[in-house]
Amino acid sequence: MSEHTHTAQEAAQRANAESPNPVKPPDFDALTTILTEILAVFKKAPPESRKTLLTTVATFFGIDLGVQAATHPDSKTGGRNAFSEDRSISPKEFLRQKQPRTDVERVVCLAYYLTHYRDTPHFKTLDISQLNTEAAQIKFANPAVAVNNSAMYGYLSATTKGNKQITAMGESFAEALPDREAARQVISTFRKRRRRKRDKNEEPENVAPPQQSRVS
């Protein structure tokens, strides 16, 4: 048995002895054997897939890896438990968590994933379509229409070289999902802001009425 295993075993025994409800200590010899087998299996997986594999195993057994969910700073937009800080989450799992119901919502979630998990803030329709396939989602009937509709609703905006980017509204909407009420609140909040801005821009300037000339 290695020195590290001895140290861990001794620490566990001390903690157990000091506990008001002592429990049977784990079998470190058996755990070491299991760990060796697990490491051997992980070595067979491609390096870029090991994080995903670890997350999947932890999810299967209900193990909390200690990753805290991020909270959107603007609570008024409904963004809470916005997205996992675990950047190894797969697009399939991300879509499963967000539960989009329409093509537009799916585009927004995919755009969010590209921006925050793939470091791709500027993307084309092809990028959305390819990520949708990677996430094992139903194919878009017309990806270009789905992306354009997302832009029309204000979730995406145009950028350079024909690319699109997710807007603040789109990010807040994706972060709010799967909470439908929070997502509706995001839409309502941003629509009110846009309405106030539009009304302000349309206000007529204060022009003094023309003075009538006096008739002598």
Residue 153 reports pLDDT greater than 80: yes
Query: What is the average per-residue pLDDT within 38-63?
Result: 72
The enclosing H or E element of 35 equals helix 28-44
Residue 49 reports pLDDT greater than 70: no
Query: What is the average per-residue pLDDT within 182-187?
Result: 94
Residue 80 reports pLDDT greater than 80: no
Convert the pLDDT of each residue in 20-33 to its tens digit.
Answer: 555 566 676 777 78
Residue 46 reports pLDDT greater than 60: yes
Residue 67 reports pLDDT greater than 50: no
Q: Is 66 left (phi over 0), alpha (psi -120 to 50) or beta?
A: left
Query: What is the average per-residue pLDDT within 180-208?
Result: 75
CATH 1.10.10 domain position(s) in the chain: 70-198
If you average pLDDT over each of 13-22, 147-156, 189-198, which comes out highest?
147-156
Distance (Å, whole) CA 140 – CA 103: 7
Convert the pLDDT of each residue in 83-134 to its tens digit.
Answer: 445 678 999 999 999 999 999 999 999 999 999 999 999 999 999 999 999 9
Span between the terminal Cα atoms of the chain, in Å: 116
| Strand blocks (E) in the chain | 69-70, 83-84, 156-158, 164-166
Average pLDDT, the chain: 77
- State the fold for domain 70-198: Arc Repressor Mutant, subunit A (1.10.10)
Residue 9 reports pLDDT greater than 90: no
% of the chain beyond a pLDDT of 70: 62
Question: In the prediction, which pLDDT does 30 show?
Answer: 77
Q: What is the DSSP string of 38-77?
A: HHHHHHHS-GGGHHHHHHHHHHHTT----PPEE--S-GGG
pTM higher than 0.95, yes or no?
Answer: no
Model confidence band, residue 66 (pLDDT cutoffs 50, 70, 90) = low
Residue 12 reports pLDDT greater than 60: no
If you average pLDDT over each of 24-33, 73-82, 179-188, 196-205, which comes out highest?
179-188
Distance (Å, whole) CA 55 – CA 91: 13
Question: In the prediction, which pLDDT does 216 show?
Answer: 43
Residue 166 reports pLDDT greater than 80: yes
